[in-house]
DNA sequence: CGGGTCTTTGATTAGGTTCAATAAGAGTGG
DNA sequence: CCACTCTTATTGAACCTAATCAAAGACCCG
């Protein structure tokens, strides 16, 4: 119930498999490596067109292990973080020590932006898996914006994107039922994984029910129950952290589960598509391991 | 229930009273007037120190009447807005036409930022009173950032501030009871009014219960009931749109109304301060009118 | 294997929604 | 000016969703 103690040292497994796709360029076992501007843009999904490839600016990587904190609330702000690989959560801590999950940053996401205003981080970031992060000192970023007009716009764009995301979040919390929230959460995870080259149909949750609940404004029990319900009516398959998406469209459009009397009917309406054997490159299980990507 | 039709032409009352405090410099009756950079910074509460006062850049003002839309969702984005005077709401519209209120911009607030990312406004802004807005073309803003390093940081800062605000919102929606939400809403309104030089103890709501409810993720009935409850136990006084803050501290720290059994006890604990006759410059009633400020 | 965390599921409660009726204002037009 | 209408606000009663409390099973790791 309290701020999940976070084991601080789980899965110390060193990188298992390596890979060398385009974006993964600047990465290597433990060693802090460096990315250049182009790589940075690619990861952030920013048009890197007009970027001079001869740009010598380099950005340092840092690794964090599961459970480690990247920054805490109130800590002086000076750098932004971009997720190169791994999964995290950002949280607010209320006066009683309760966590409120704000986001689950993953590859391509930037976090720490909330520190710009007050020069102190307004939230806390914790690694949910081993992570490889790119450090982006704010001063450097600002300078970069000045040097490359393109990049400047990109900065604004990323911040704007984040704002839109938060708006969607507010909207969801303000208006949707528990089922709809969980459904949307699954859909967005699915899409996010697809973006990253993982399977959008079969993946493992990196966060606990408690964290999901906090993120969605629900209790862990409600999350658990809702997942079970989705499982029963055939929208998904659930087994602990493993989720199989069976009917994405239904999840996408779900607003409210039929009032349990009509529940049976709904089950039938699930256009028995269970035939389609879900698969595809599954998400790395052993963390930090083989990114069995496309 | 549907997206309040918005009368589009209520209170066509022209500006009643004028005033000429420091910040109000570039304003005048109907005429679109212009503000210079320094004034802009002042309004935005940005340090305008290193700004060359000889700067010739001017920013156009525009007036909107109660009920008018400033921009709509999907409309091509090119300018940001800064509230010089008046009250607005920004809303999201779901697939059924239901509004979700995201914010209530007022003096010193910037909105439209959500349009940067997709080059289209992601939300809709509606005037809740007659408004005087400063137009800030995004291109101009970006150029400005390049010209004045100070200002560039200010841009990031304002966007970051907005993000933090949204985070607080998410946190509130995710974790607080109805009473706590309404209490916080009142507190933040009070503080906001104080900032603007109005009375923090006595003011009029510019928005309907429905809009407040939408903003707080509650129904209008719950908002109404909660206000009534606060009134009963002496935290505030309510009469329609008029709110009197009686016990700010209680509102600030309220997490959950005592379980109605202890309710009586609570009433007594209200350190009978009703003696203090609330007053101070009240908010302009006739909109657009006399800013009876300090 | 044992302690810890995480998850599932059930029973009960309560906070908020929904439905409904009434009242108070504000604007309109005869 | 008053009747009429429309929107907004208040309040009550019934219902329902999700929270809370509780217990047992699954998983993880030392």
**Confidence (pLDDT) at B261:** 36
Shortest distance, CA A103 to any CA of chain B (angstroms)? 10
**Look-up: residue for tokens 């400063």?**
B134
Sheet holding A58-64, edge to edge: A34-36, A58-64, A131-137, A79-85, A110-111
pLDDT of residue A289: 33
Number of CB atoms found within 10 A of residue B108's CB:
19
145-174 on A, CB < 7 Å from strand C:
none
Cβ–Cβ of A163/B166 closer than 8 Å? yes
Decide if B173 and A217 are in contact by the 8 Å CB cutoff: yes
In tens, the pLDDT along A210-241 reads 999 999 999 999 999 999 999 999 999 999 99
Contact B47, B41 (CB under 8 A): yes
Quick one: pLDDT at residue A114? 97
| CA–CA gap between residue A110 and residue A81 (Å, rounded) | 6
- The answer to whether B109 and B63 have CB atoms below 8 angstroms apart is no
Pick out residues 194-223 of chain B having their CB under 7 A from any atom of nucleic acid strand D: 205, 208-210, 220-221
Distance CA A186, CA A253 (A): 12
The confidence score (pLDDT) of residue A137 equals 97
- CA B223 to C1' D13 (Å) is 18
pLDDT at residue A203 tops 70: yes
Helix, strand and coil content of chain B, in percent to the nearest 5, comes to 35, 20, 45
Q: Which residues of A touch B152 (CB under 8 A)?
A: 142, 145-146
pLDDT at residue number B281 = 52
pLDDT > 50? residue B275:
no
* Phi, psi (degrees; rounded to nearest 5) at A256: -165, 130
Using the predicted structure, report yes or no on whether residue A291 has a pLDDT greater than 50.
no
**pLDDT category of residue A95 using cuts at 50, 70 and 90:** confident
pLDDT (0 to 100) of residue B248: 96
Q: What is the DSSP string of B85-109?
A: ESBEEEEEE-TTS-EEEEE--BTT-
Distance in angstroms, CA of A93 to C1' of D25?
31
Dihedral (Cα; A89, A94, A98, A103), 10-degree rounding: -20
- How far is B89 from A242, CA to CA, in rounded Å? 41
Tokens at residue A159, please? 């911040």
Give the model confidence (pLDDT) of B199-217 as tens digits: 999 999 999 999 999 999 9
Q: What is the predicted pLDDT for the residue at A52?
A: 67
Partners of A137 in the beta sheet? A79
Give the mutation candidate from A116, A185, A255 for the B interface (greatest B CB count, under 10 A): A116
Least confident of A255-259, B100-104, B188-192: A255-259
Q: Can you give the pLDDT at residue A264?
A: 36
The whole model's pTM is what?
Answer: 0.81
Å between B72 CA and C6 C1'? 45
CB-nearest to B170 from A102, A160, A161 is A102
pLDDT at residue A292 greater than cutoff 50 = no
pLDDT confidence tier of residue B255, bands split at 50, 70 and 90: confident
- Which phi and psi (to 5°) does residue A103 adopt? -165, 165
Q: In angstroms, rounded to a whole number, what is the distance separating the alpha carbons of residues A284 and A104?
A: 17
State what percent of residues in chain A have pLDDT above 70. 73
- Nearest-nucleotide field for B6 (CA, C1'): D7
Enumerate the residues of chain A whose CB falls inside 8 A of the CB of residue B112: none
Kindly report, residue by residue over B26-62, the tens digit of the pLDDT: 344 455 699 988 899 999 988 876 666 666 789 999 9
Confidence grade of residue B249 (pLDDT, cut at 50, 70, 90): very high
Look at B133 and B17; give whichever has higher pLDDT: B133
pLDDT digits (tens, 9 = 90+) for B128-150: 999 999 999 999 999 999 988 88
Calculate mean pLDDT across residues A63-87: 96
The C-alpha atoms of residue A85 and residue A107 are separated, in whole angstroms, by 5
User: Nucleotides of chain C within 7 Å of a protein C-beta?
Assistant: 5-11, 15-20, 24-27
Q: Check if residue B52 sits with its Cβ under 7 angstroms from strand D.
A: no
Closest CA to B77 of B104, B105, B112, B127: B112
**pLDDT tens digits for A247-262?**
999 999 998 655 443 3
Q: Which domains does chain A have, with CATH numbers?
A: 21-173 (2.60.120.10), 176-270+289-293 (1.10.10.10)
Of A18-22, A44-48, A158-162, B62-66, least confident by mean pLDDT is: A18-22
* CB nearest to B161's CB, from A117, A152, A174: A117
Strand arrangement of the beta sheet that strand A99-103 belongs to = A69-71, A124-127, A88-93, A99-103
Which of these, A130, A110, A294, A280, lies nearest to A196 by C-alpha position?
A: A294
Q: How far apart are CA A223 and CA A213, in angstroms?
A: 6
Average pLDDT over residues A92-98: 91
Measured between alpha carbons, how far is residue B281 from residues A243, B74, B193 in Å?
58, 40, 10
Q: Any idea which of A4-8, A115-119, B229-233 has the lowest mean pLDDT? A: A4-8
Give me the numbers of helices (H) and strands (E) for chain A, helices first please: 9, 12
Please determine, for residue A1, whether its predicted confidence score (pLDDT) is greater than 50.
no
């Amino acid at each position: 119930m309290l701020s999940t103690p976070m084991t601080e040292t789980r899965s110390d497994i060193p990188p298992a498999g390596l890979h060398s796709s385009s974006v993964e360029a600047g990465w290597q076992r433990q060693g802090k490596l460096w990315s250049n501007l182009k790589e940075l843009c690619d990861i952030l999904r920013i048009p890197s067109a007009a970027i001079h490839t001869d740009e010598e600016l380099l950005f340092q990587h840092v690794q964090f292990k599961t459970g480690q904190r990247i920054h805490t609330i109130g800590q002086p702000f000076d750098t932004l973080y971009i997720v190169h690989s791994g999964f995290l959560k950002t949280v607010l801590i209320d006066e009683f020590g309760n966590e409120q999950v704000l986001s689950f940053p993953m590859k391509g996401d930037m976090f720490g932006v909330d520190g710009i205003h007050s020069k102190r981080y307004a939230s806390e970031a914790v690694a949910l898996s081993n992570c490889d992060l790119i450090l982006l000192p704010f001063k450097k970023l600002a300078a970069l914006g000045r040097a490359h007009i393109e990049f400047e716009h990109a900065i604004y764009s990323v911040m704007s994107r984040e704002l839109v995301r938060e708006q969607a979040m507010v909207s969801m919390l303000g208006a949707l039922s528990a089922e709809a929230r969980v459904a949307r959460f699954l859909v967005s995870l699915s899409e996010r994984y697809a973006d990253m080259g993982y399977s959008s149909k079969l993946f493992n949750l990196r966060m606990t029910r408690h964290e999901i609940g906090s993120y969605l404004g629900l209790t862990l029990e409600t999350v658990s129950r809702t997942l079970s319900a989705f499982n029963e009516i055939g929208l998904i398959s659930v087994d602990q952290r493993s989720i199989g998406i069976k009917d994405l469209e239904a999840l996408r459009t779900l607003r409210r589960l039929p009032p349990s009397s009509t529940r049976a009917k709904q089950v039938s309406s699930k256009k028995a598509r269970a035939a389609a054997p879900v698969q595809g490159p599954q998400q790395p299980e052993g963390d930090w391991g083989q990114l069995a990507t496309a």
